[in-house]
């Protein structure tokens, strides 16, 4: 076992990735140019309830995690950490970041948010400590013999529609995120992924019914699949979280 493969290093990468995921979401929220599907929903619920955005992220993750029960998915350390850390970081950063009016500044925040989210995806999934709630929902769906593309499309389209009806922000940022997060995460993921500690007997904290296929989403909700080796990502579709 190399030093990089040890659990403490994986935990550092996990929590750094989740924190950066929260940073990416906060930057895109402050850009006000459009969010990915799940964060459109989070923003819409926050607008309707008056609750902090990050608390909505946490509450949604908990509800999605309950859907793992009939799918017989088992959470890992990364799954539980995802539920808590991302939302807390989002709320903390939104309390510090101003909402700029200058369009070039807002565009810069959007680009930075997408890039940070992609790096976060590589760190978080690359740590190999369990998928996020939304990722596990998709892998659980696939484990039942259903098409993950169909399932993800239906779920994210429904989430986006609900978010729009609730007042969430859809715009050029939604398009930019949707088109760029996959290629960016595909580039970062193999470069930030730690190889398995042992190939024959994975640790119990990384064992799930199936490997994660995307980030957070996401982040958040949009990601790529966890690769079987540091340089060979398997194909998949996105989010942190």
Span 126-141, pLDDT tens digits: 898 988 898 888 777 7
pLDDT for res 108: 98
Query: For the chain, how are helix, strand and coil distributed in percent, rounded to 5?
Result: 65, 0, 35
What global pTM score does this model have? 0.78
The token pair at 74 is 């088992």
* Cβ within 8 Å of residue 25, ≥6 positions away: 35, 39, 57, 86, 90, 113, 117, 219, 220, 240
pLDDT for res 135: 80
The token pair at 175 is 């398009």
Whether the CB-CB separation of 82 and 50 falls below 8 Å is answered with: no
Whether the CB-CB separation of 124 and 240 falls below 8 Å is answered with: yes
CA 29 to the chain's CA centroid = 15
Q: Is the pLDDT of residue 1 over 60?
A: no
Band (196; pLDDT cuts 50, 70, 90): low
Asked which of 68-72, 73-77, 110-114, 223-227 is least confident by mean pLDDT, the reply is 223-227
Q: Which residue's entry shows tokens 């990416």? A: 24
Band (2; pLDDT cuts 50, 70, 90): low
* Cβ within 8 Å of residue 88, ≥6 positions away: 22, 54, 58
Q: Is the pLDDT of residue 143 over 80?
A: no
Above pLDDT 90, what percent of the chain? 58
């Amino acid at each position: 076992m190399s030093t990089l493969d040890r659990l403490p290093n994986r935990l550092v990468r996990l929590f750094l990735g989740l924190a950066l995921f929260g940073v990416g979401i906060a930057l895109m929220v402050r850009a006000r140019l459009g969010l990915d599907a799940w964060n459109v929903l989070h923003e819409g619920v926050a607008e309707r309830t008056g609750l902090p955005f990050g608390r909505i992220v946490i509450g949604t993750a908990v509800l999605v995690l309950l859907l793992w029960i009939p799918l017989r998915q088992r959470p890992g350390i990364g799954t539980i950490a995802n539920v808590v850390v991302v939302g807390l970081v989002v709320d903390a950063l939104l309390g510090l970041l101003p909402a700029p009016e200058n369009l070039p500044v807002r565009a810069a925040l959007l680009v930075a948010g997408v890039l940070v989210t992609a790096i976060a995806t590589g760190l978080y999934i690359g740590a190999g400590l369990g998928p996020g709630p939304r990722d596990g929902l998709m892998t659980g769906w696939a484990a039942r013999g259903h098409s993950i593309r169909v399932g993800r499309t239906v779920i994210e389209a429904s989430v986006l529609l609900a978010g729009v009806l609730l007042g969430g922000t859809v715009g050029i940022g939604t398009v930019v995120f949707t088109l760029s997060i996959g290629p960016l995460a595909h580039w970062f993921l193999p470069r930030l992924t730690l190889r398995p500690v042992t190939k024959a007997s994975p640790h119990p904290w990384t064992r799930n019914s199936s490997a994660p296929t995307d980030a957070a989403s996401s982040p958040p909700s949009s990601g790529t699949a966890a690769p079987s080796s540091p340089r060979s990502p398997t194909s998949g579709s996105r989010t942190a979280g």
